[in-house]
């Protein structure tokens, strides 16, 4: 796959900022395999020019993707899709463990702790509804 096959669409009327639209589209494609592990992403400047965005906007998206473990930057060699699924699974499992231990320390029973998670997930995932 060449960098020219990465098609990202920016909706200027969307509620999400352009950097978030870039981040989400790349993350979704990496997660579902449309961007395979090792795929070389366009340069920040190249993608910014293609999308008519400021380079800082694309750089912010790339930094967020790298922080999330979706991509890795190899210095002058560029940015590449990392094994995003594994990194995301590990991070979520670690966060869940931290939450469970904290809820127990606070004295919450299982049902109350689980209800809090369900409420948080509903709030996070139902924002598009």
Domains identified in the chain, total number: 2
Tens-digit pLDDT string for the chain (129 aa)? 444 368 999 999 999 999 999 999 999 998 888 898 899 999 999 999 999 999 999 999 999 999 888 999 998 999 999 875 666 677 788 889 999 999 999 999 999 999 999 999 999 888 654
Does any domain span residue 50? yes
Same domain as 78, residue 91: no
Q: What is the CATH number of the domain that holds 31?
A: 1.10.10.10
Tell me the C-alpha to C-alpha distance, in Å, between residue 30 and each of 23, 59, 63, 111: 11, 18, 15, 35
Listing DSSP states for 28-42 in one string gives HHHHHTSS-TTPBPP
Torsion sign over Cα 58, 79, 65, 15: positive
Does any domain span residue 40? yes
3-class DSSP state of 107: coil
| Residue 108, domain extent | 85-127
Same domain as 63, residue 97: no
Same domain as 78, residue 22: yes
Stated pTM of the model: 0.67
Does any domain span residue 5? no
């Amino acid at each position: 796959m060449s960098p020219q096959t990465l098609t990202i669409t920016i909706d200027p009327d969307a509620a999400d900022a352009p950097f978030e639209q870039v981040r989400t589209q790349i993350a979704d494609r990496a997660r579902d395999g449309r961007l395979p592990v090792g795929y070389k992403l366009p340069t920040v400047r190249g993608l910014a020019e293609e999308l008519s965005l400021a380079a800082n906007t694309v750089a912010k998206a790339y930094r967020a993707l790298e922080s999330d473990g979706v991509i890795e930057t190899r210095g002058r060699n560029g940015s590449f899709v990392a094994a995003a699924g594994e990194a995301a699974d590990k991070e979520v499992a670690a966060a869940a463990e931290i939450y469970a231990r904290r809820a127990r320390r606070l004295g919450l029973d299982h049902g109350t702790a689980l209800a809090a998670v369900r409420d948080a997930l509903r709030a996070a995932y139902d924002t598009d509804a």
